[in-house]
Every structure is written in C-alpha cells, then in structure tokens.
A and B are shown apart, each in its own frame.
Chain A
Amino acid sequence: MIHHKNIANIASVFLAMAMALTGCSNGFSPYQGAGSGAGKTVALKGSQQGQSGGLADYDGDGIDDMMVGAPYAKDNGTVGAVLIYKGSANGFDAKPTWVLAGDDNFGFTLANLGDVDGDAKADFAVGAYNGDGTDVSLSGSVTIFKGGSSGKVIAKLAGEDALDKFGLSMSGGCDLNGDGIKDIIVGAPFNSPGPERYQGGAAYVYFGPDFKETTRIKLAASTTNTGIGFTVACGDLNNDGIGDLIIGATGKVLVYYGKSGFNPSIDSPDVKITSSDSKFGTALAIIKDLNGDGFDELVIGAPQATVSLNSVSTARVGRVYIVKGAAGTRAINLAAPGSNLLTRIDGAGYFDFFGSSIAPVGDVDGDGKPDLAVAAINADKDGATSAADGLTSGKVYLIMGKDIRIDGSATPVTSATAFNGSSGNMRYGTFMAPFTKNGPKLLVGAPTMNRQSGGIYGISLESGSTVTTTFHADGTDSSTTGHDCCAKTVSKGGN
C-alpha cells in the first residue's frame, strides 16, 4: 500500500532505532498529511537517493514538485521511497515535504507520464522492482499516480511472475495507439516467456486511460531477440503524429511504429539497429529534429563501448549514437550505417561509461536546435587523483545542437560543457531530468554518494552559467535547496 509518511533523515541505523524508541523527529518539520503511514520515519542511510527522479505537480498547486527516488530507504518492514520536495516559484522546499512508500524497492524508477487521465495535469509513475500484485508476489510493480491529487492512484500494474523485475525500466508520455491518450511502457527483463526463453525478458504496453491488464500488449523475448526489458522508450520517429515504441535488446535497438490497434510482433520491428558495442541500448532518448528533415532523432547510449583514445583501443569508455528519424522500415548496422547515422559521440576516458543516461534538454541556447545532456557516470572529476578528491565521480556533458555534426562524422565530446560530480564514486548522472525555473535547469542524480545514501543536484544550463551546482538535496540539513534556490538569473554572454 502506498502511504504518506513523515520523514526523518538519520545519520545511521542506530539513530533510526533510537528515534523509533523515543519518537523524536530529528529536527524535521514533518508533513502532517493524511495517509496510513503518518508518523512513521524512513531511514535514508544507504537509500541511494537519486537513482531516479523527476518533476510533477504532486499537490495541485500548479507548480511542479521535485521527486527523488530512494529505492533502498528503509521503512517499517519495506524498502524504498520517493521523497517529494514541494515546489515554489523560485525553488523547492529544503527538505522532503512528502514521502511515498509501499512496495519493496519503490522508487527505483520514476517517470512523468504527461496527462494520462484527461484532466490536463501531468501524472507520474513509480516503479518497485520487488513489488507485488493482487494475485502475484515479488513480481515487481508500477504505481501510476494522478498528478495534482496529493497521491491518488490511477492504477497499479504488476508483473506476471515472481522475480520478473517488472518496473526495472519504464517510459511514458507517448500515445502509441493513436487514440489521443498517453500510454505507459514497462520492462520486465527477467520475465520468462517460455522454458526455452528463460529470463529472456519482456516489455509491456498499457494503454490509457484505464491501463487494464486485459488490454495490455506484451513483447516477449524470442529466439532471435532476447535481453528485452532493460530499456524502454518512446517518441515519434516517423513523424506520423503517433508515438513509437523503442526497446533495447541484446546487441540491438528495436523500433515499432505506433498506430491504431498497436500490437506488434517482437520479431517484426519497423527499425532494427544493431551494434557490437558493449551495453548498446542501455540508454535511449528522442530529440527534436537536428538535420532539418522534419523527423526527430533517436539517441542511443552504449556506455561500455570500446573506443579508440589517442589511437589506443580503450575499454568501457562509452559512446552515443544519433540515428536519424525517418519513415519506413530500416535495418541499420552501425558498423556500416550509411546515411542513417547523423553522428557518433565518444566518451573521453577509460571506464567513463559515457552514455549511461541521456536527457533531451530542449533548446537551451535558443538557436532552434535541440540540445542534449549525456552522463558518464564513472568519469573522473577534473584533476582528481584519488577517490577522496573525486575519482570516478561521474560527469554530465551538455552538448549543444549547434555542435552536433549531422554528416555521419564523429562529434568531439570536447565541444561539450562538462559538469563534474563533486566527490568520488557518486555516479553523478545516473538519472537526469530537465526543468525550467528561472531558466533551464537539470536535475542530476548521484545515488551512491555519501556511503550510498545518495542525493540529487540541480545545475543551470543557461548560457553563461557556471558549471557548479545550483542546489543539492539529500534529505538532510546539509541540503542547499530552498525556496530561492533557482531564483537568481545568470548573467548572459558567457560561453
């Protein structure tokens, strides 16, 4: 059951125990809202805040609130939470205002779905990879919340069998069957479609507005397409006005064009893109038209790709491909992509994992071209020589559309603006979510900082901004969020 709870951030499990015994609030001003969990606490030590996150209007005041997934937060018998920081005109509450929790590992994934129920307010979904359904246990679950309702649930979805990890990936914001209502896609990478495809995985599409299991479709692993469900995405690649389904598979990315009566066969994709790069398809995103042909483009991350750096073949550097959108069916081998490939962007260093996550950030410089954020979650903070001073901190690159090549040649990552993680081993960039509050901003998750307690950062993408963080939140008093965190505008005319 999902419920609101008071939050008390604690420094250790022992303190949590002490709090449970004494009932102290640890200095917080907890939300006293309705909910079965009111008065409880969640322990954030080791919770990996920032594994997921995003923005949606939770309480209906017309201002988006900041949501941070903490999938290993400990509650009274459950694991996982989503911390919600109430938004204001210029920022967010400094500490979590509300907490959602329920199924185990709740908050591992989180997505703003857009308006799925027709009330003109964006709704959101939270995944719990060890959640339950009404007639199945430990299958994984996804709960769809009604935006602006302070926690009303539109639907709760669950996997088919125990340990399917349903909800380990999900995506929304697209209408795949052309009925005018947005749908949701959920991956279950350990689903077994049959004994011969044990743990081959599956992706499911649930159609809005009711998201019934009886009408959902399943794309299950086949003998030729396996490893389904680790990555799902959607967007309109063929520019027909209907969203398209995009799923990662082992060594492939598969695209199925949306249409009325959408029910594709896994082995009959409209676009098949193959690559020998390690972890190809780990991250997927759609960006607006780059080359002026009227079609949006598909961005694919391969964060463990081997890349030639200084003429040395170097493992796990990672790269990103931008494949152009088009109508019609295509089979694209990225070893010989022809004109299908707009560009390739290689990471900068060994073990950087460039392309771990990708976020379209709109057109932040106003030049009419889409800009892109790409994370390299294991890149080193500039100048770091040890974990203590930022080795393997993670890095986020802001790549401007004007710098992205469209002739098939490689775009140098050196043209990007790099935002460093602040400390070692924090996986800066695990999730990224753009938003606008007095200029374009980007939420950046760092789930393994501070001994796995994690946190999120906000950075300003506006031209002329510094590359230092604008705000930081980890559920503690050290958070630097606040109602004025994003109030100040930067001076223009920088880079």
Chain B
Amino acid sequence: MKRNFYIACAISLVLGGFVWAVAALDGATLYSANCAGCHGPLNSSGKNGATATRIHSAINSNIGGMGDLSLGADQIQAIADSLAPPTVYDASNFTVDGRKWQPIPTGYLAGKDNGPGDAIHHPGDDCGICHTPGGKAGNKVWTMSGTVYDSRAARTPLVGAEIIFQNISGKTFSMTTNEVGNFWTDKPFFNNPDNTDSSNWNYKAWVKYGNSYRPMVSIAPVGGGRMSCSMHHAGMGSRGGLWALATSTLKSYPDTGLSYRKHIFPILRSKCAPCHIPGDTTARAPAGEPPFDYSKGLDLMTFEGSSVLVPAYTPHGSGPVPDKTWTKQGILSVVNITSPPSSLILVKTLNGAAHGGGSFWTNQDADYKAIRKWIAEGARKN
C-alpha cells in the first residue's frame, strides 16, 4: 500500500519504536519552488555545496533579487541540505559488503537537524506511539527520534550525544541529545515520498560522544510495513543496545588479580554485545544478497563459546531459514597470553583500527588496560 509519508524508526537504548512521519521539510521541493528558476535543476545546480549561511547572506543582501524570498531558517537549512555533496557515500556501501563499518561522516554541522520543541519527556519510551499521524502528538510527527544513554547498562541518559544518519544518497542527518537524552527530527530521510522504491529506504547510523562513537553495524532497511527499531534497541539494552560515552565500564579496576566475572565480563557485555552473542546474529540483507553475520563467529557472552540450534524460521517475509546450529568461539580465540597487546580483542578495538563495531578506547584507557592485564595474568575464568 502506498503511503504519502515516510517510515522511519526511533533508536532508543531502552525502548525504541517507529514513526510514521509526514514529510515536513523537503529541501528538493523547496529548491524547485524557490531556486530552480535561476539556478537550474537541483541535480545540476550551480549552487551545489551552498551552505545555509551563504543562502541567508544572499537573501539578506538581495543578491539577484533573492530578497523577495520568504523562507524560514529551517527551510533554508533544508535547501542547503539538498545541495550538500555526498560525504562518505559510495554505492557499494549499501551492499552486503557495505554493511562493514564505515568512518563517521564529516563536513556537517552537529545537531543541524534537531527538531523543534524541547521534548523533555518520556526518555527511553517508544516515541512513535504518540508522535505518529493520529496519535496523541500527531501534530508533532518525527522521522527519527529516540533516547541515548551513557552505556548499555542504561545507568543515566546521555546529554549532548550526537546521532548521525546517512541515507543512500549520502545525505547526512545529525541530531544531539537534550537534557534527558532525547533526540528527534522532522526532516525527511528518504528520496521517494511515494514509497515506491524500497531500495531507497536504507540508511546507516552512528552514535557519537566526543571522540567515542558507535556505528550501527548493519544498514537499516526500513519500510515495507511496520518496522520498529525496538526490535533490537529495546529493553534497557537488549540485543541492539548502543552506548556512546567513552568512560570505563567499571569505576575502577585493581592493579592485579583481575577477575573475569567481576571485571572483564562487565566490559564484554557492555561493549561487545550485541554483536558477539550466541545464536543467530544475521542481519537482514537487501533483496538478492546473502545474510550478514555480524558476530563473525565470536561469542563473548560465554567464556568457552557456544553452540546453539536455532529452529527454522521465516525472517521478515523472505524465504524460510532452515534449522541451523550456530557454533561460535569464545574469548580465548581472541587473546594472546604470550603477547597480550597483540590479542585480537585489543587490536581490533583500539581507536583507528578496522572493526565493524567501532573504536572503543586507547591503550591508556582503563577498560583496555584491565583486559590486557587479565590476559597477562593468564586469561582465566576466575
């Protein structure tokens, strides 16, 4: 069924949800109505790359008669967004291989897509329950919204975190969390308001705080029906829980005598889940592409690894998946007792390393040093 509104989803570390959202500010449409007469069609505009500040200045200075334009700041920003060049986008990024981690986009203003209002309510809830056409907040419909917490433990909401989305056209959306950890926007995310081409519904996401950032490992292919981010981003840190604050998992660690249960497993469960868990960890693949196992055969929620039979099921309306036993290795497969810093678990997670789950720490951070010490002490299940 066609709908003249977009489907998107909300990200939350506690409870997420989806939002059926009316297109609020379509920069391309605004450009066509206000700019194309002089500057040509959007896809060949001579003003590609023009910033909102530059457009403001041109209007204020009545350049070329632009002083007659009556555009709000958010409309000008939407036009600037439509003129922005792709940042990280490469068509191959939105294939199965493209599910691999990509560097965080750059060249945009953090928080440029923050929505109106203050939204100091219901952190961690499913925003889409109210902020949906016909809902209690149907007059304030978001295309993306949610809550970010400091850690997967959901100890406290995170103020000032940045949530970054990039759609298949390379357009970047950035929001920042408010005093209760909420973020939201009413900016349209997708290129096909008629919802006719589901291949355009994909996007990537990152959560960033300072120099620490977490990518969403998979591409989110929303659409085709009701899709909720709470499928993964739910329940105070279930399978898809995210975190953004670059602080150590525990407030302190002993210099010696590190315990797997008391000191190491909290780090693993905070920072290595949701990817490295037992069972089926396939991400949905675009049509025609094989599924992608984002655990890479590594289960860090069990010391020894795991072997779990997952009965046949039919995922997301596609073909049936037969019975499968998922056998995964445990933490000892990624430690090197004779040379702890060479352990894969540390090498892959250092800032700057290529790791689908993002960069976690420097070699001076407390979590890193705790794991390194535990490995040096024999990597025991103690």
Q: List chain A positions with a Cβ less than 8 A from chain B.
A: 46, 72, 74, 77, 79, 104-105, 129-130, 135-138, 161-163, 165, 168, 189-190, 192, 195-196, 198-199, 316, 350-351, 378, 380, 387, 391-392, 424-425, 448, 451-452
| Complex-state Cα separation, A144 to B113, whole angstroms | 47
Which of B121, B152, B278 has most chain A Cβ within 10 Å? B121
CB within 8 Å for A163 and B269 given contacts A77-B251, A105-B155: yes
Chain A binding site: helix, strand, loop or mixed by DSSP?
loop
Contact between B278 and A79, CB atoms less than 8 A apart: no
Which residues 225-280 in B have Cβ within 8 Å of A in the complex? Answer: 235-239, 249-251, 259, 261-263, 265-266, 269-270, 277-279
Interchain CB contact (< 8 A) of A130 among B137, B153, B179, B299? B153
Q: How many A-B residue pairs have CB under 8 A?
A: 97
Contact between B266 and A137, CB atoms less than 8 A apart: yes
Q: Decide if B196 is an interface residue (CB 8 Å cutoff).
A: no
| Complex-state Cα separation, A424 to B308, whole angstroms | 47
Which of A46, A189, A190, A195 has most chain B Cβ within 10 Å? A195
Which residues 126-183 in B have Cβ within 8 Å of A in the complex? Answer: 129-130, 135-137, 152-157, 179-180
Contact between B235 and A189, CB atoms less than 8 A apart: yes
Interchain CB contact (< 8 A) of B250 among A138, A316, A448? A138
CB within 8 Å for A190 and B121 given contacts A135-B261, A163-B152, A451-B180: no
Which residues 107-136 in B have Cβ within 8 Å of A in the complex? Answer: 120-123, 129-130, 135-136
By a CB distance below 8 angstroms, the chain A residues around B269 are 138, 161-163
By a CB distance below 8 angstroms, the chain A residues around B278 are 195-196, 198
By a CB distance below 8 angstroms, the chain B residues around A199 are 238-239
By a CB distance below 8 angstroms, the chain A residues around B262 are 135-137
Chain B nearest CB, measured from A335 CB (Å): 23
Q: Decide if B200 is an interface residue (CB 8 Å cutoff).
A: no
Contact between A351 and B135, CB atoms less than 8 A apart: yes
By a CB distance below 8 angstroms, the chain A residues around B155 are 79, 104-105, 130
Interchain CB contact (< 8 A) of B279 among A161, A198, A451? A198
Contact between B266 and A162, CB atoms less than 8 A apart: yes
User: Residue of A at shortest CB range from B277?
Assistant: A198
Chain A nearest CB, measured from B117 CB (Å): 10
Q: Decide if B333 is an interface residue (CB 8 Å cutoff).
A: no
By a CB distance below 8 angstroms, the chain A residues around B21 are none
Contact between B130 and A351, CB atoms less than 8 A apart: yes
Q: Decide if B306 is an interface residue (CB 8 Å cutoff).
A: yes
Contact between A452 and B301, CB atoms less than 8 A apart: no
User: Residue of A at shortest CB range from B259?
Assistant: A135
Q: Decide if B302 is an interface residue (CB 8 Å cutoff).
A: yes
CB within 8 Å for A448 and B308 given contacts A190-B235, A351-B130: no
| Complex-state Cα separation, A448 to B250, whole angstroms | 28
CB within 8 Å for A137 and B301 given contacts A72-B156, A189-B235: no
| Complex-state Cα separation, A424 to B119, whole angstroms | 12
Chain A nearest CB, measured from B280 CB (Å): 10
| Complex-state Cα separation, A165 to B266, whole angstroms | 12
Which of A136, A163, A165, A391 has most chain B Cβ within 10 Å? A163
Q: Decide if B321 is an interface residue (CB 8 Å cutoff).
A: no
CB within 8 Å for A392 and B120 given contacts A138-B250, A190-B235, A198-B278: no
By a CB distance below 8 angstroms, the chain B residues around A196 are 278-279, 306, 308-309
Chain B nearest CB, measured from A402 CB (Å): 33
Contact between A161 and B261, CB atoms less than 8 A apart: yes
Interchain CB contact (< 8 A) of A451 among B120, B135, B307? B120
Contact between A136 and B261, CB atoms less than 8 A apart: yes
Contact between A391 and B136, CB atoms less than 8 A apart: yes
Contact between B129 and A316, CB atoms less than 8 A apart: yes
By a CB distance below 8 angstroms, the chain B residues around A138 are 153, 249-250, 266, 269-270
- Kindly list the 4 A-B residue pairs having the minimum CB-CB distance in the complex, ordered from nearest: A195-B306, A195-B278, A162-B266, A425-B121
Interchain CB contact (< 8 A) of B122 among A162, A195, A448? A448
User: Residue of A at shortest CB range from B239?
Assistant: A199
| Complex-state Cα separation, A161 to B309, whole angstroms | 23
Chain A nearest CB, measured from B24 CB (Å): 19
Which of A46, A105, A130, A138 has most chain B Cβ within 10 Å? A138
Contact between A387 and B250, CB atoms less than 8 A apart: no
CB within 8 Å for A190 and B179 given contacts A316-B129, A351-B136: no
Contact between B135 and A190, CB atoms less than 8 A apart: no
| Complex-state Cα separation, A190 to B270, whole angstroms | 13
Contact between A195 and B308, CB atoms less than 8 A apart: yes
By a CB distance below 8 angstroms, the chain A residues around B180 are 46, 451-452
A sample of 9 cross-chain residue pairs with beta-carbon separation below 8 angstroms, ordered by A number, consists of A46-B157, A104-B155, A161-B261, A162-B270, A198-B277, A351-B130, A387-B137, A392-B121, A451-B120
Contact between B179 and A46, CB atoms less than 8 A apart: yes
By a CB distance below 8 angstroms, the chain A residues around B235 are 189-190
By a CB distance below 8 angstroms, the chain B residues around A452 are 120-121, 123, 180
Q: A72-B156, A162-B270, A195-B307 are in contact. List 9 more A-B contacts (CB 8 A).
A: A72-B157, A79-B155, A79-B156, A104-B153, A138-B249, A138-B270, A163-B237, A165-B236, A387-B121
Chain A nearest CB, measured from B101 CB (Å): 23
By a CB distance below 8 angstroms, the chain A residues around B238 are 190, 199
By a CB distance below 8 angstroms, the chain B residues around A189 are 235
By a CB distance below 8 angstroms, the chain A residues around B270 are 138, 162-163
By a CB distance below 8 angstroms, the chain A residues around B129 are 316, 351
By a CB distance below 8 angstroms, the chain A residues around B277 are 198
Chain B nearest CB, measured from A44 CB (Å): 14
Chain B nearest CB, measured from A321 CB (Å): 22
By a CB distance below 8 angstroms, the chain A residues around B265 are 161-162
| Complex-state Cα separation, A85 to B169, whole angstroms | 57
| Complex-state Cα separation, A138 to B278, whole angstroms | 21
Chain B nearest CB, measured from A422 CB (Å): 15
| Complex-state Cα separation, A138 to B271, whole angstroms | 13
Interchain CB contact (< 8 A) of A163 among B261, B266, B299? B266
CB within 8 Å for A198 and B301 given contacts A130-B153, A392-B130: yes
